[in-house]
Amino acid sequence: MNVVSFSGGKDSTAMLLMMIEKGIQIDRIINVDTTKEFPAMYEHIKKVQSMIFPLKIETVKIDFDYWFSEHVKTKGKNKGQKGYGFPDFRNRWCTALKREAVKRIQNSIAGDYVQFHGIAVDELERTEKNKGNIRYPLVEWNVTEKQALEYCYSKGLDWSGLYEKFARVSCWCCPLSRIGELRTLYNEFPDLWNDLEKMDKKSFREFRSDYTVTELTDRFYKEKQDSILCRNGAMDDGKTICFSVAS
């Protein structure tokens, strides 16, 4: 049995469509939904589903909000504490939940199976961590990340421009995102940023070690105001004030 892991990102999308084009047998397509994907990602997955019918994308949802702020820990030094709060480099609980969801599906499969993961050839080091019954078609076909994205664009898939704004298109609330990407979230996705501020009030752990959500809000707001002053040619002692934005 051939089982495709499909996140909806450029690499897994390119892999899936290329496998179909090459006539490779596909028995199941598994997508794990964290419920914190960009709205455009959900639309993208719907579009891919319409393209590959009668193949079916099976979606398994993770109750992110429950684990984030409601789950009561029953052991360890934080016993009794509610929620895991924002993940960080040392505690990527959200990634662990995704892996557990995939493993539950794997355990339900009778007989032998092969997993197909969408990792491009320029991320070869990622394949070294996972051994066993896993294939990496993009690596086998020498497809780079850039080529995978261009291939998807050629098929009319553009994620409503997400890849023009973000290097990685995963959970929009990820604290591990670059400052520049968080700035883009603040400026171009105000509804999602508002949700992030609400999440911040429920988390015992600060958003990042260098910035809280409130501090980022203040920073980005000031940058925006400074940018407006610069564009308007605001003058101070006869000199134009222009502010550079650090990434």
The verdict on 227 and 156 lying in the same domain is no
174 contacts: CB under 8 Å, gap ≥ 6: 87
Per-residue pLDDT of the chain in tens (247 residues, 90 and over written 9): 999 999 999 999 999 999 999 999 999 999 999 999 999 999 999 999 999 999 999 999 999 999 999 999 888 887 888 999 999 988 899 999 998 998 898 888 888 999 999 999 999 888 887 778 999 999 999 999 999 999 999 999 999 999 999 998 989 999 999 999 999 999 999 999 999 999 999 999 999 999 999 999 999 999 999 888 887 765 454 454 554 555 5
Q: Looking at the structure, do residues 94 and 151 belong to the same domain, yes or no?
A: yes
Is 170 domain-assigned? no
Would you state the torsion angle of the CA atoms of residues 102, 18, 170, 92, taken in this order, to the nearest 10 degrees? 40
Q: For residue 184, is it within any domain?
A: yes
CATH number at residue 109: 3.40.50.620
Do 43 and 139 lie in one domain? The reply is yes
| Residue 191 domain boundaries | 177-247
Q: Is 130 in the same domain as 12?
A: yes
Q: Which residues pair with 32 in a beta bridge?
A: 60
Task: Please identify, among 108, 135, 164, the residue that sits at the C-terminal boundary of a domain.
Answer: 164
Q: What is the pLDDT of residues 75-105, one digit of tens each?
A: 888 788 899 999 998 889 999 999 899 889 8
**Domain match, 56 and 119 both:** yes
> Of 164, 190, 215, which marks where a domain is finished?
164
Residues 53 and 98 in one domain: yes
With respect to residue 172, please indicate whether it lies within any of the assigned structural domains: no
Residues 190 and 138 in one domain: no
C-alpha closest to that of 147 among 173, 169, 120: 120
Q: How many structural domains is the chain composed of?
A: 2
Taking the alpha carbons of 163, 122, 36, 158 in that order, is the dihedral positive or negative?
positive
Q: Based on the domain organization, do 7 and 65 belong to the same domain?
A: yes
**Which residues partner with 53 through β-bridges?**
none
- Residue 13: inside a domain, yes or no? yes
Residue 169 lies in a domain: no
Residue 91 resides in a domain: yes
Exposed e or buried b per residue across 120-159, where buried means at least 16 C-beta atoms within 10 angstroms of its C-beta: bbeeeeebeeeeeeebbbbbeeebebebbbebbeeeebeb
Residue 102: both structure tokens together = 């995939």
Note the pLDDT of residue 238: 47
Do 133 and 195 have their domain in common? no
The CA distance from 196 to 192, in Å, is 6
Please give the model's pTM, rounded to 2 decimal places.
0.89
What is the pLDDT, as a whole number, of residue 131?
A: 72
Residue 247 belongs to some domain of the structure: yes
The answer on 129 and 43 residing in a single domain is yes
Positive/negative CA dihedral, 47, 50, 53, 57? positive
User: What ranges make up the beta strands (E) of 189-242?
Assistant: 235-236, 239-240
149 and 43, same domain (yes or no): yes
Same domain, 80 and 55: yes
Domain presence at residue 40 = yes
Nearest to 9 by CA among 85, 89, 92, 98: 98
- Of 95, 129, 164, the residue that ends a domain is 164
pLDDT for position 86: 96
